[in-house]
Chains A and B, each alone.
Chain A
Amino acid sequence: MGIENVGTSDGELVRCVLAGDTGAYGALVARYRDRLGRYAVHMLGDRQDAEEALQDAFVRAHRSLARCDDPERFGAWLYGILVNRCRTTGGRAARRARLFVRDDAALNGVPLPSPAERAEWDDTVRWALGRLSPEYREAFLLKHIEDLEYEEMAQLTGAGISALKMRVKRAREQLQVIFREAERV
């Protein structure tokens, strides 16, 4: 599913963990930390939330490791747990009240370093993705971050293939509209 492994296979590591070598789980965490983190960061739009979701997904996966039917596909199984976890976090974050403060003294007093284009795009992408509904954002990211087939996406999300195709298509259309509107401002 677009996740490559180097060195000891996932299956071997999972078997070591199940045999009592908890340390082997550390290798799996290190292997998938950044790869899954990318999805969580873009899905939740907040690094702290993403790290919490990721940590929780790893812990839950360890707790239920015996239920991982195909240890060689541990990555795909873990991805499914993270997708679910992001759904709950996303819902909770949306209900949060936000208290937003600017340190104006610091902003006015010091010329801010001009942001690099990459950093600017970070903000732009977060803003644009944040305007999509969670279902559209989820489908868009699963399709485009991991290049998943729709069958794989259906397994991860529990949604039907045609619904997922529609969500990806609508997400792309909405992003076009969002950017066209932003250009007019």
Chain B
Amino acid sequence: MFEDRQDPVERIVSHVRHPVRIDPALDGRVMQEIARGESVRAPGAAVAGWRWLIRPRQFAVSPLGALALAAGLAALMLALPRRGPRSGLPAEAARREFQFVVVAPRAARVALVGDFNDWDATRTPMRPAQRGGSVWTAVLPLSPGRYRYAFLVDGSRWLADPAAPHVHDDEFGAPSSVVTVGGS
């Protein structure tokens, strides 16, 4: 690999200057996301209604009316469900990203299947790290827990992870592996 006598650093420099082709589909994804963001930002009827509701106003209230209003507001506060300001956050914060990598040189498509996606081969397709390459990857956020998983190559061939503990899946009869995500 290094028999070339040219200075390796200069070879790297000339290599990184080669054009890199990024999938033109990225343009569509960018424009879609921008369009989505704009539609979210556009003030809709609900926003207009809220603005109308919170617009400053002046009310003339008699002492008796003020008392009734205060009682009504107190009843409303008691009736509202208690919502903790950070409800649901701890579980979300504990999620960690896992990169699954499989080398499958002849595969046309590879899917990651497991407990985390109900073993649905359509939900987590893996992508080749390079066009036409043999390394397939998928990144998945996982909450703490124990997950069985496998790789489904070309829709029919199951692959377990040789480096991970194996379990035998009684439901499907196919080998699978286990990943345990800690809570820390």
Interface residues in chain A, defined as those with a beta carbon under 8 Å from any beta carbon in chain B: 22, 25-26, 29-30, 33-34, 37-38, 41-42, 46-48, 50-51, 54-55, 58-59, 62-63, 92-93, 95-104, 106-107, 110, 112, 120-122, 124-125, 128-129, 141, 144-145, 172, 175-176, 179, 182-183
Contacts and interface: CB of A to CB of B under 8 A. Distances in A.
Contacts, number: 144
Q: Nearest 4 CB-CB pairs, A to B? A: A37-B22, A38-B20, A179-B8, A103-B104
A124 B16 CA distance: 12
B82 to A, nearest CB: 35
Interface stretch (B48-56, B63-71, B72-80, B91-99): B91-99
B10 to A, nearest CB: 10
A100 B13 CA distance: 29
Main secondary structure of the interface of B (DSSP, over half): mixed
B47 interface: no
Given A22-B35, A98-B101, A103 B153 contact: yes
Interface of B: 1-2, 8-9, 11-13, 15-24, 26-27, 29-31, 33-35, 37-38, 96-107, 127, 129-130, 134, 137, 139, 151, 153, 159, 161-164, 179
A101 B24 CA distance: 29
11 contacts: A22-B38, A55-B26, A62-B30, A63-B37, A93-B99, A95-B97, A97-B96, A97-B98, A99-B99, A101-B102, A102-B102
A122 to B, nearest CB: 8
B31 to A, nearest CB: 6
B12 to A, nearest CB: 5
A54 B96 CA distance: 22
Contact of A54 (B12, B13, B26, B134): B26
A134 B106 CA distance: 34
A122 B134 CA distance: 14
A104 B106 CA distance: 12
B100 A99 contact: yes
A110 B106 contact: yes
Given A48-B129, A145-B16, A59 B34 contact: yes
A141 B20 CA distance: 14
A46 B137 contact: yes
B106 A183 contact: no
A146 B19 CA distance: 11
A71 B100 CA distance: 41
Contacts of B153: 103
Given A38-B18, A103-B159, 11 more contacts: A29-B31, A37-B21, A38-B16, A50-B22, A55-B29, A99-B98, A101-B100, A125-B16, A141-B16, A144-B17, A183-B2
A119 to B, nearest CB: 8
A102 B159 CA distance: 9
Nearest to A93: B99
